[in-house]
Structure 1
Amino acid sequence: MIHPYAAAGFLLAVLPLVATPGASLTLLIQHVTADGRRQALPVVLGTVTGLYAHAILALAGLSALVMHSSRAFAVVKLAGAAYLVGLGVWTWWTAARPRSPVQERRSGSVYSQALLANVLNPKAASVYLTLVPQFVRPGDPFAGQILALATVHALLIAVWLAVWTALLHRGAHLVRRDSFRRVIGRVAGVVLVVLGIRAARA
């Protein structure tokens, strides 16, 4: 188990990263405004699954290989950037389409989008290769500590996304308007494309 002070320190260290708007928050806003707050769950689950994937990869040493191989890192970075750009273009296109009263997205599709957006983000992997080791004690079981810190990270981002979901739900009267949904969809599309371009240039 991780020491409480180490968990608290890690939480404070990763908080600015969680609070920085990224693909997960963009997907949450886009899907919740389009289909209601029930779509928040697959976004949260996809993001959290991605965090645990990075933690497991870090344990297996695969993330270290990617981070220390410029070619492998470039492949992951470009794959993630291409996915975000493609998702952004798709989001923009679907926002411009007329919406049927019974149209809704499948939760599995939303989950996959959030999962891939996190897994294909090399910066998320770098958290478990550069930040996490600072809070791990050599004398204690390594795997348990990594997974405990990943749980802290997952709980923090779940709470952060839940807060945004509550804020969006309070504005439900505005969210129901098709014009507002189209604007949010287009803004989300632009943000995802910008995030993809920035990831490719980083």
Structure 2
Amino acid sequence: MTAETWLSFTLAAMMLCFSPGPTLLLVMGQSLTYGKRSVLPLILGVLSGDMIAMSLSVLGLGAILALSATLFTAFKYLGAAYLCYLGIKAWRSKATKAEDTDKGGIASGVIFKEALLVTALNPKGIVFFMAFFPLFIDTAQPYLPQVLILAMSFLLVSGLSVSFYSLFAGQLRQKVQSPKLQTGFNKVSGTMLIGAGALTATMQK
């Protein structure tokens, strides 16, 4: 793999990862709800979900999803329903003090699981990895090292984008002490999550 090919891949990955979509809406919504406590679990959850999606693509599920409209639709609506569920839960969340949120308003494992499931259940991501990676693979060179380089590069870019959005939203949440404004933030984050669910439900292959 040449340096030019790697750079082209990285730039394409940045355009994808930093563009608003269901995962970033989840990240911002959860960060607005739970504050800076959610940043690390969200990052780890999204990266784990990306690794699962990439692994499923390599194993051939991406091709199956691309060919089967029924399976693609099932994955799509499952992910959309889960996002809407998280949005409703955020809407119903009560305002808490920032220090209470940081000390244990919600288990980090729960935030991690939610981010992982939303990312891994995104059929568009699985199909994307199947179609995207081969564009930058040199068939004259060993396959596995190239895939590993592309995968690690994508995870780095994904981690940077999630960190940026979650830290921004988390810091914004921490600066708000008014219960009324915190309730407003919860409703905004809930709306974003429900919107992410609607966006997922309208995805096409």
Alpha-carbon RMSD across the aligned residues, in angstroms, is: 2.3
TM-score, normalization: structure 2?
0.85
| Preserved CA contact (<8 Å) 2:176 2:182 | yes
> Whole-Å Cα distance in 2 between the matches of residues 134 and 173 of structure 1?
42
Post-superposition shift, 1:117?
0.9
Gaps of 5+ in 1: none
Match of 2:163 in 1: 162
Q: How far 1:47 sits from its partner (Å)?
A: 0.5
**3-state SS of paired residue (1:175):** coil
| Corresponding letter in the other structure for 1:99 | T
Please give the alpha-carbon distance, in whole angstroms, between the structure 1 residues aligned to 2:132 and 2:70: 23
Q: Which residue of 1 aligns with 2:201?
A: 200
Provide the identity percentage.
27
Which residue of structure 2 lines up, in the alignment, with residue 147 of structure 1?
148
Shift of 1:107: 0.7
Separation of aligned partners in 2, 1:83 and 1:170: 26
Q: Tell me what 1:82 maps to.
A: 81
Q: What TM-score, normalized to structure 1?
A: 0.86
Q: What does residue 62 of structure 1 align with?
A: 61
Q: What residue identity is the alignment partner of 2:67?
A: H
Retained in 1: the 8 A contact 2:88–2:190? yes
Per the alignment, residue 99 of structure 1 pairs with: 96
How big is the shift at 1:160?
2.0
- State yes or no: 1:180 paired with 2:181: yes
Q: Is the 8 A contact 2:173 2:182 kept in 1?
A: no
Any idea what the Cα deviations from partners look like across 1:106-145, whole Å, max 9, x if unmatched? 1100000100110111121122122211111113332332
C-alpha displacement at 1:76, in angstroms?
A: 0.9
Q: Does 1:32 align with 2:26?
A: no
**Cα offset, 1:199, TM superposition:** 1.8
Report the CA distance shift for 1:57/1:142 in structure 2 as closer, same or farther (over 3 A): farther
Unaligned runs of 5+ in 2: none
Is residue 95–residue 182 contact of structure 2 (8 Å, CA) maintained in 1? no
Contact 2:25 2:193 in 1 (8 A): yes
Alpha-carbon shift at residue 73 of structure 1 (Å): 0.9
Which stretches of structure 1, 4 residues or more, deviate above 6 A after TM superposition? none
Residue range with higher mean Cα deviation, 59-68 or 20-29: 20-29
> What CA deviation, in whole Å up to 9, does each residue of 1:86-123 have, x standing for no partner?
111111112xx253746511110000010011011112
- Answer whether contact 1:55 1:146 (CA < 8 A) is retained: no
Q: C-alpha separation between the residues in 2 aligned to 1:177 and 1:161?
A: 27
Change (3 A) 1:147 1:184: farther
Aligned CA distance change for structure 1 residues 83 and 165 (closer, same or farther; 3 Å): closer
Query: 1:42 is matched with which residue?
Result: 41
Match of 2:123 in 1: 122
Q: What residue number does 1:14 align with? A: 13
Shift of 1:74: 1.2
